[in-house]
Each structure stands twice: as structure tokens, then as C-alpha cells.
Amino acid sequence: MGIVRSVFHFHLDGIWVAGESLGRSATFARDGFRVQIDLPDDRNAFGLKRGPGHPFGAFGSHGSGPESARVQEVDAIRISVAGEADLCRADFAAPGEQSSPEAMKRARDFHTKTLDIAQSTVIDLVSWLRIEKDQVWLGLGANQPQLVGLTSYYDADGQPLPVGFGEGVIIYPLDPARAVDGPFLSRLVGLLGDGRPTVEVEDQLLADARQMIPSRPTDIRHSRRPLVQHAVLLAAVAAEVKVKRTLRRVTSADKLALIDNILDNPREVSVAAVNLFHTTMNATIGRSLKKDDPNLFAAINRLFEVRNRVAHRGEQPSLEEARRLISAAIGACRWLDELPDAPSLESAGATPSAAK
């Protein structure tokens, strides 16, 4: 056993680095490994030459300030992860020859472990940059850091190992139900042209919640990490906004003032969000999610319970539970969409003046 080192390069979307910190490093222990972060000292650092994929090399396009107070935009950093492994240069065949499967498996396992540590290190670095240095443009944290350049491995003697691993290409079937098809194209005139409908905020929020939970095989493997707390909060908000909007849509004119009072004055009329799907809806139109689909109602109740625990105690639901809760929000919103509109005054046999 010896100390083996993996060296990764990650693309980041423009970290601001003080001139005095360019070329500097930070080293620490993490999960039983020794990790080092290196900042670039010039555009060509780490061997990342400028080109179509990296027009500015390791630096971004912006730098400002005099030399004494220079700030440089940095687009790439290097992460080295070192730890014990049963790997050395002698384990591998000469160029052009086949290395043993056992040595390749040990190298692959070491790559997987050290890549996970390097990626989680960059994720935490980005989080602290957003929180402490206000570099919020670095993103919501949903994306896994993007590897750039070549990944290198060195044995205890500093000899490079003749192996390399990419993140791989995953081939998976595409769902035709989600594809842009002829009927959808024909609807674009109405969706995007003059007279177009408004994209409701609850639909946007629910789409955002779904985006934060990996679903595609590529996302699950390496390109995204789940933001379960964010997703649960957004799904619950989407469901609550949706049920309130729906209550106003399905309520007849003679009851609308009461519904408005309940929804607009929560301090005076206290109704738990989940009961908007049951007691309030039942009193309004004689329909209830609890009566129509008891299991879905129980799941929505669970969504609001977990939402409250996340909001008030900072709890972290599991990825599996977050997926179930988001599915519940989707199901409840579809149930709400199927409820018929309130009858118009004319169809109800009343005139606007008589209704007043």
C-alpha cells in the first residue's frame, strides 16, 4: 500500500479571486484523504490552453483593479486527492500491452472514490462562496462540478499511472410522451403568440421542484445532485398556491366572498393548507381530495408536514421521500385541474344585476 494521488480540474462559472491569492493552495483532511485546492496563477495554468472549449484558459474574461488590489475571474481550479491504495506504476503493462484486470479494477475504484471526494469538495466550496463572499451567481448548487482537461494519477513515487477514466456516456431511452410532437407544435401559436395564456407561478414552482430532484439517468449518475429541502419547500408552495387559485375558479359567485375572506385573511380564519383540499373544497363544491383519493390526500398531508419540519427545524428528507412528496404535489395539481369551473351567472339563470 502506498499514497496514490488523483488530480482533477473543474470548471466553475467565474469565481472572483484576489490577485494576492492567485496561485495559492489550501490543504486539509477530508473523509480519510488529503485534499488540496490549487488556484491558477495565469491563464495557461494546469495546462488548460485557450481554445474553443476554454477561450480564456484557466481565467475568465474579466479582471479589474490595480495590481495591488486586482481581482481576477477564475474559471478553473485543480483538486488533488491523495490516499492509501494498492497501486503503483509497476502494476500496469507497458504502452501497447494489456494491463491486468485486477489492477484496472483497483484503479477504477480509487478513481470513483477520489472523484466523489473532489466533487463534494467543490460543491461545498461553492456553497461557502455563495454564503460568505456573496458570489451567488455560482448557481443554486444543483449541478455537479464539470471536469475539464485530463485526470491524472500518481503513485507513491510520483510516477504517473497509465490509466484514465472519463465520466462515461449513458445511453437511455427517451420518453416519446415528453417529446415535442406535432400536436404540441400546433399549440405554440396559442401558447406563445398574441393572446397567449399566462404561465402560472405554481406551475413554474412545481417544475423548479422537479428540476432539483434528479430524474434522468445522466443526472443521477454524475451531473446533478439533489436539493431535497428546496424541492419539498417549492412543491408545497406550488400545491398551496394551486389549491387557492382553484378554489376561486370553481366557487360560485354567491360563495366567492366567503372564500376570498378565508384565503386573504389567514389570521382571522385559520385553515391548514391540507384542509383546503378537503373541508374547504367540500364546503364549496361538494368535492374533496380526501373523498376522491384518500391515498393521495394522505400524501399531500405528509407533504405539508415535511414542509413545516424543513421550514421550522431544518430537517433533511431523504431523496426517496422527496420524490414521493413531489409526485403527490403533481397528482394533487392534476386533480385540481380536472375540477370544473364554476357556472357562469348566465348559465346559472341569473343576470349580473340580479346577482348583486
HSE-CB for 34 with a 13 A CA cutoff: 9
Grid coordinates representing 238? 406550488
Q: Would you say domain 200-338 falls under CATH 1.20.120?
A: yes
- Average pLDDT rounded to a whole number, residues 132-145: 72
- Residue 146's closest CA among 216, 222, 205? 222
Q: How does strand 33-38 pair with strand 59-64? A: unpaired
pLDDT at 223 over 70: no
- Residue 292's closest CA among 278, 302, 280? 278
**Cα 136 from Cα 133, distance rounded (Å):** 8
Q: At which residue does the C-alpha cell 387557492 appear?
A: 244
**Cα 322 from Cα 338, distance rounded (Å):** 25
- Average pLDDT rounded to a whole number, residues 68-83: 87
pTM score, whole prediction: 0.63
pLDDT for 85-125, tens place per residue? Answer: 888 888 887 665 666 788 888 888 898 899 989 988 888 88
pLDDT for 238-259, tens place per residue? Answer: 999 999 999 989 988 888 888 8
Confidence of residue 347 (pLDDT cuts 50, 70, 90): low
Q: What is the pLDDT of residue 191?
A: 81
Q: Where are the domains of the chain?
A: 2-154, 200-338
